[in-house]
Amino acid sequence: MGDSQKTLFRPITESIVNVPVRNISGASMTMRHEELAVEEPLEIRLGYHFKGRASSKAISLTMRTPGHDRELAAGFLVSEGIIRHAAGISEIRPLGSGGANEIQVDLDPNVDIDFTRLERHFYTTSSCGICGKTSLQAIETQTCAAIPIGGFCMDAALIHELPDRLRESQPVFSHTGGLHAAALFDEMGSLLSVREDVGRHNALDKLIGERFLAGSLPLHNRLLLVSGRASFELMQKAVMAGIPVVAAVGAPSSLAVELAQHFQMTLLGFVRNQRFNIYSGHWRIKGT
């Protein structure tokens, strides 16, 4: 017999809610409360000037965990190749009632918009259905700056420590177990920044957006660690941010590896339990 009463969510923080559940263990049942990660839609709109007139356009609707929405919007625009410089943004502001689920990025009137780019950023998803060669060419035309072959280098022993450092820095995951994370590390393995979200691509957009708004792109001297798998979409965003090394707790996809090799990035997979695989760019990892 189904529940006739609507589930009651009690907000704990912006990112966490408390929900009553029936916990079944063997033949016994107990009532308790569980903390869950919040998932809500966010519409990202672009405010721009066209032929001297102010206009706006919805360019994305994503399911995300509330928090760092300004960074998410900015990071999305950067990783999609729509904007390149923070100076091109005049304001990022919430819209609607309370501004909870709609945000607009207003561009400087002098910024030129590639409208075909707005209509055709669909290739960034792994289910887009177009071939890898076409995808890589599309990214190459949008890349801000080539990733240097030299420069960043990290000791293999430090790689083993990164997942624990990431987990220790995930405040919402520690409560809910339901979020992805993206984190930046320097060559010494020091954690510089971390962002969480129910969507792995949103977590990375928030991270990139934070650095973009601070004027810190490209990230040529940083390692990116993601808590899940390494997809083509995440690698594309890393390329746009100029990140030379991407490490994933899970597996990479075949197109993610192809992208890493094409742009001479270092790609690590299965970074957990004191082991990892190197799929591309081994020269950036000392001792391998």
Distance CA 212, CA 78 (A): 8
Which residue reads 């708004």 in tokens? Answer: 213
Choosing from 128, 131, 144, 153, the catalytic residue is 128
Can you spell out the DSSP letters for the chain? ----SPPPPEESSSSEEEEEEEEEETTEEEEEEEEEE--EEEEEEEEEEETTEEEEEEEEEEEE-SS-HHHHHHHHHHHTTS---GGGEEEEEE-SSTTSSEEEEEEPTT----HHHHHT-GGGSTTS---HHHHHHHHHTT-SSPPPSSS--EEHHHHTTHHHHHHHT-HHHHHHS--EEEEEE-TT--EEEEEEESSHHHHHHHHHHHHHHTT----TT-EEEESS-B-HHHHHHHHHHT-SEEEESSPBPHHHHHHHHHTT-EEEEEEETTEEEEEE-GGGEET-
| Active site annotation includes 153 | no
Contact in structure between 209 and 70 (CB atoms under 8 Å): yes
Residue 160, both tokens: 């083993």
Which are the catalytic amino acids?
A: 128
